[in-house]
Amino acid sequence: MKKTYTLNIEGKNRDRLLDASKHDIRKYVKRERTKVLPEGADFWDFDCKVGISVASSSPVHLAEIMAAVDALVTDGADQFYVEITSKPGHRAARPVALENSDIAP
């Protein structure tokens, strides 16, 4: 998903346009997560970028997209750009802790 959302449209409320764009982003992520995973993949991972335009976008974590959008809007931006790309993710094994060791954690 690569999309620029405009927040100043004549006859439309700016807050409603912002809420609609956030809903569109959440709906896209939800739709991508329900797709069938390829073999060997554990989950869907996402590469995300947010900025005022394509050129000024910077990478952010999926959980921080809405906060980044809110920060742009509170700074007075009339539009913002969001790019979300899904990719299969692989979980890394956690290291096993030594249970009977003499060394205190």
Kindly state the DSSP code that residue 4 receives in the 8-state scheme.
E
Residue 75, in any domain of the structure: yes
Determine, yes or no, domain membership for 43: yes
Q: Is residue 98 part of a domain?
A: no
Domain that holds residue 58: 2-89
The predicted model gives 59-87 an average pLDDT of 97
What 3-state DSSP class applies to 2?
strand
- The answer to the question of residue 19 being in a domain is yes
Confidence (pLDDT) at 96: 78
Asked whether residue 80 is domain-assigned, the answer is yes
The token duo for 77 is 């931006």
Residue 97 lies in a domain: no
pTM of the model: 0.84
Residue of 53, 67, 48, 56 lying closest to 5 (CA atoms): 53
Q: What is the pLDDT of residues 1-58, one digit of tens each?
A: 999 999 999 999 999 999 999 999 999 999 999 999 999 999 999 999 999 999 999 9
pLDDT score recorded for residue 101: 56
- Kindly tell me if the per-residue pLDDT of 100 is higher than 80: no
Q: 7: Cβ–Cβ under 8 A, 6 or more apart, which residues?
A: 14, 17, 18, 21, 73, 77, 78, 79, 80
Domain assignment present for residue 94? The answer is no
Total domains in the chain come to 1
Residue 67 inside a domain? The answer is yes
